[in-house]
Structure 1
C-alpha cells in the first residue's frame, strides 16, 4: 500500500512566519499545503483571505489544497483560484447548488472537492461523484484546530471508500481533524489516502516537522 499524502494544515502554523513555514513544510516532505479558510459565519472562527494565500503562494511549488468553510461559497471561488489554489473543497451546506459549484471549480482549472462534516450523510456524494477529485471527511466538527478525532469517523471512511470504488472514482479520500501517528494507520486501513494534520505536524517546531511527517507517512 502506498504511503498516504500528508497535507499539513497551516492553521496550526506561526502566522507571523507563514512564508517560512510553508517553505519548511515542503523541505520536510509534505505533499500538499492545506489551507483552512473560515469566515466566522459558516464556522465559528475567522482565518485567511485570498490575499494571504496569494502572498504565500510563491514560497512553495506544492499543491495548495484550499478548504473553503465559507457561506455562500460561490462568490469566493475565483478569488481563491486566482490567489493560487490548486484544489478547492466546498461543503454541500455552503451553497444552494453543489453540482453547479463543483462544475465552476473545474471551469476555473482547479480540482474540485467535497467536504463532509461529521453529521453530513455520505449520500450527498452519489449525485456529484463524477465531478469530484477529492472527498474530505471531517473527523472533528470544523472551526478550530486541536480537537480530538471522532472514533466513529473510521466507519465513515470505510463507507466512503466503498462508495468511491463502486462508482469507479479515482478521487482522493482525505481525512481532517485530530489526525496523529496514533490513528493515522487506522485511517489508511479504512481507505483514506490523504491525511490533513495540523497540531501533530507543527509540534516541536520546524526542526521536528520532517520527523512528524515521516511518522504519519509510516501509517
Structure 2
C-alpha cells in the first residue's frame, strides 16, 4: 500500500484556509479534521460547519475525528456535510458500536475508530472487520505539539500483524507527533497513513509548499537511514 499523508487541519493557519487547502489539494492524500466538544477532551476545535465549507473546496477524502462524548449526535450532520470517513473514539462507543458503524456504512460513508494511547487493541478486536480506518493516538488527545508516547508502537505493530493475519481492510493510521524523529519507527511498525500536524508539517516553514517539501524530504531521509 502506498503511504498516505493526511494533514491535521486544526494545525493549519485558519486565517488562510482557502489558500492552504488549494496547496494541499495538489499534494496530500486526504484531510484529517478534529472535532472536539470541550468534554471528552478539554479543548474546542473544528466543527461540522468547517467540514461543510471544506467539502466545497476539495475533492479529497475528509476524515472526521470525533473527540466528543456523544458521537451519535454528530454522525448525521457530518454525513450531510460531506465527510468521507467518520472516526469514533473507542472509549466513547461502548454499548452502541455496531449500531453506529451500521449507520455510517448505510450512508455510504467509511467507518473509523481511534484509540487513545492507553487503550488496548483488545478493546476493538470484536469489530476490526468493520473498519475502514484504524487510528492510533501517539499523544494524549486534544492538543497539538505534545511529546510522542513510544509505548504505542507495540499496539501499532500488533494491529499491522492482525490486519495481515485476518485479511482486514482497514488503513492503519497514526495521529500525533508524526515527524522526522518518529517517521522511521512508525513506518517499521506498519503505519500506512501519517496524520501530520504542527511538528510534522505546518511549523516547518511559513510557505506551505516549502513546508510540504521539507516534510517529504524528512520522510524519505528517515527511511533511507535504515538502509
TM-score (norm 2): 0.90
Quick one: structure 1 residues 130 and 102, their matched pair in 2 at CA, closer, same or farther if it must change by over 3 Å? same
TM-score (norm 1): 0.94
SS of 2:35's equivalent?
Answer: strand
Q: Which residue matches 1:115?
A: 114
Could you say what the CA RMSD is over the residues aligned between the two structures, in angstroms? 1.5
CA-to-aligned-CA distance 1:59-107 (integer Å, 9 cap, x gap): 1111111111111101110111111110110012223311211111111
The 8 Å contact of residues 6 and 216 in structure 1, kept in 2 or not, is answered as no
Cα separation, 1, equivalents of 2:116 and 2:141:
7
Q: Which residue matches 2:29?
A: 31
The 8 Å contact of residues 65 and 87 in structure 2, kept in 1 or not, is answered as yes
Q: Which residue matches 1:139?
A: 138
Q: Which residue matches 1:211?
A: 213
Deviates more, 1:117-126 or 1:131-140: 117-126
TM-superposed CA distance for 1:192, in Å, is 0.9
Q: Which residue matches 2:173?
A: 174
1:187 pairs with 2:189? no
Quick one: structure 1 residues 216 and 161, their matched pair in 2 at CA, closer, same or farther if it must change by over 3 Å? farther
Equivalent residue runs for 1:1-219 within 5 Å: 2-27=1-26, 29-95=27-93, 96-199=95-198, 200-203=200-203, 204-205=205-206, 206-215=208-217, 217-218=219-220, 219=223
TM-superposed CA distance for 1:208, in Å, is 1.9
Q: What is the total number of aligned residue pairs between the two structures?
A: 217
| Greater relative CO (CA pairs within 8 A, separation 6+) | 1
The 8 Å contact of residues 5 and 217 in structure 1, kept in 2 or not, is answered as no
The 8 Å contact of residues 202 and 208 in structure 1, kept in 2 or not, is answered as no
Cα separation, 1, equivalents of 2:10 and 2:214:
16
TM-superposed CA distance for 1:186, in Å, is 1.3
